Amino acid sequence: MRGNEGRNNHSMLLCLACYEDRLASVFDNAPDLKLFRVEDNKICPAGYLSLPSKDPKDRTSAIMTCGATFLICGAICGCTMNELEQAGIRVLPWIRGMIDEVLSAYQQNCLENLVMPGCRGRGRCGQGNRGFRARKTTQEAMHPDGPTLNSVQRSK
């Protein structure tokens, strides 16, 4: 799949780490990536990638190669998340739900309603403050500069 070539600046590629018709609970075990083109707040299916390998490097490479700019997923390994973010891919972890539910929440700027139980207010589920400096909360990760993801995309 090609990247964003030939697309206008208001277009982005959203990637969901899926298990069948819902987000996979754990990114590292997700068998599929479903891609959606977001353009002017309209979401259209843009492709599908089957991930036969469980190797985090293969998964990271697949996401980077397809040109995704955002990844929405369930739990994700910190190393994988850091690698994706360093490659310029914004990661929105700790989200759960059916694909249609997640896409609808994304359009309506209410993904925080789909945060996994026990993950509200923490950047890393279950890690609390054990040896970790305070990380961004899920809310901050979704809205790092105040505006929501969709409002940021609409303003560009």
pLDDT in tens, 61-104: 989 998 999 999 999 999 999 999 999 999 999 999 999 999 99
Let me know: does 93 contact 81? Beta carbons within 8 Å: yes
Range 8-15 average pLDDT: 80
Task: State yes or no: pLDDT of 111 exceeds 70.
Answer: yes
Q: Which residues pair with 98 in a beta bridge?
A: 22
Task: State yes or no: pLDDT of 56 exceeds 70.
Answer: yes
Q: 22-26, 54-58, 117-121, 123-127 — which is least confidently predicted? A: 123-127
pLDDT recorded at residue 91:
95
Residue partners of 110: CB distance under 8 A and separation at least 6: none
pLDDT recorded at residue 6:
42
- Strand pairing category for 70-72 and 42-50: unpaired
Residue 26's pLDDT band (cuts 50, 70, 90): very high
pTM metric for this prediction:
0.73
Q: 19-23, 38-42, 120-124 — which is least confidently predicted? A: 120-124
Give the tens place of pLDDT for each residue, 113-152: 999 988 765 444 444 433 333 345 444 555 444 334 444 3
